[in-house]
Structure 1
Amino acid sequence: MFPVITDPAILPILFQDALNAGDVDGVLALFAPGAGMRTAAGEHIAGTEALRAEIGGTVAARGRLTNVQRHTLVGAGTALLVTDWTMEIDGPGGGRLAPTGTTANIARRDADGGWRFTVLNPLGTA
C-alpha cells in the first residue's frame, strides 16, 4: 500500500513503477473506490475486479510503461493529469509492440488529503 499521495502529479509515475514491477495491487491502490478507465481497445470499465483484470492482463503481457508528465491542472479537489506514454508489450505474434499515446486522467483528493485516480483515459481525446 502506498502512503498518502499529497501531490497528484506523481500519480502517473507511481502507476508506471507499480505496473513495471508487476504489482497489480500497487496499481489498484492508486484508484479511488468505484474508479473507471477506458481501455486501449476503447471499452469503458469500472470497479476493482474489472480494473484488476485489465491491469493483470497488461502485467501478463510483460507490459513496460514509460510515462512523461505533460500537465497537471488542479482545482476544487480535482486534478486533470495529461501524460505522454509508451507501452512496450508482447504482441499476439510473440514480438514486442510499442504503442504510444497521451492520457487525459482525472484524480481527486480524498478525505485524508491523498490523491487517487477516478478516471483513466489512455486514449486521451481519441
Structure 2
Amino acid sequence: MIGSIRKSWQSAFEGHEVSTQAAEGTDDGVTRSCFLRMMAAGALAAGFSGSARAAVPAKASGVPPVTDIDKLYDAWQERMNSGDLEGLVDLYVEDVYYVNPDGVALSGKAAVRTDLAGLLALKPQIVLGNRRHMVYENIALTTNHWRMNFFNADGVKQELTGGGIEVMRKEADGGWRYIIDDASRSAS
C-alpha cells in the first residue's frame, strides 16, 4: 500500500521542478498544477485501498443519491441555499476529511454536520463557479470557486469568496460523495 502511494506521488512530480523560491525557503514551491497532481495521485491511491469499503452499501438516509457527477455541485449549492442540512451531510462519506472556509480541519460526518449547521444559521446564498473535475473510475478530483453572501448580526450584507478542492468517490448506491473537501482555498 505505502509503495503504491509513493509511486503515485513520484509519478505526479515526474518532469516538474520545484521553484527556486522554494530552494531559498521563501515559498513552499508547490504550484496549483503540482498540488492537483498530488491530490490526484493521493485520490488514486485512496481509490485502490478504498475499493473494498466502497462495496459496502451506504446507510439509507432518505435523501436520493446524486448519481451524475455533473450534478453534484448543483445539488450541494441547492441544498446549501435552501438550508437543507440533512441533504448536505448526505453528500459526504462517514469518515470524510473536511477543511472549512476558515481553514479548520475536521474529521467525520458528525463534525461536518456541526460546522455546516453553524453556517446554515447565517442563511447564506452560495454560487459555485469555475467547476472542473477529473474522473478516474470511481474517484474524482474536483475544483471550484465560490461566492457566498449572508447578512451579519447587524443586518449588513457580507460577501466571502474562496475556492474548493475536493476528492469524491462513487459509492455502492451509485451516488457520488465527498471523501475530502477543502473549502479553504483562495479564489485567486
TM over 0.5: yes
Q: Quick check: 1:8–1:116 contact (8 Å CA) kept in 2?
A: no
Q: SS where residue 118 of structure 2 aligns? A: helix
Matched, 1:6 2:57: no
Report the Cα distance in structure 1 between the residues aligned to 2:186 and 2:139, rounded to whole angstroms.
Answer: 19
Query: Partners of 1:61 and 1:4 in 2: how far apart?
Result: 26
* Bigger relative contact order, structure 1 or 2 (CA pairs below 8 A, ≥6 apart): 1
Q: Are 2:168 and 1:104 equivalent residues in the alignment?
A: no
More strand by share: 1
Distance 1:41 1:4 in 2: 28
Deviation (angstroms), 1:32? 1.2
Secondary structure of 1:100's aligned partner? strand
For 2:87, the equivalent position in structure 1 comes to 26
Residue equivalent to 2:144: 83
2-structure distance, mates of 1:4, 1:91:
33
The share of aligned pairs that are identical, in percent, is 26
Asked if 1 retains the 8 angstrom alpha-carbon contact of 2:66 and 2:75, the reply is no
Distance 1:25 1:79, change over 3 A: same
Structure 2 residue aligned with 1:46 = 107
Deviation of residue 93 (structure 1)? 4.6
Aligned residues: 126
> Which residue, out of 104, 121, 128, partners 1:67?
128
Assess, with a 3 A threshold, how the Cα gap between structure 1 residues 108 and 125 changes in structure 2: closer, same or farther. farther
Per-residue deviation, 1:20: 0.8
Q: CA deviation at 1:52?
A: 1.1
- CA displacement, residues 16-62 of structure 1 (integer Å, 9 cap, x when unaligned): 10111111001001111111210111110122221111111111011
RMSD: 1.8
Unaligned 5+ segments in structure 2 are 1-61
Deviation at 1:89, TM superposition (A): 2.2
User: TM-score, normalising length from structure 1?
Assistant: 0.88
Tell me if structure 1 keeps the 8 A contact 2:101–2:162: no
Contact between 1:9 and 1:69, CA under 8 Å: does it hold in 2? no
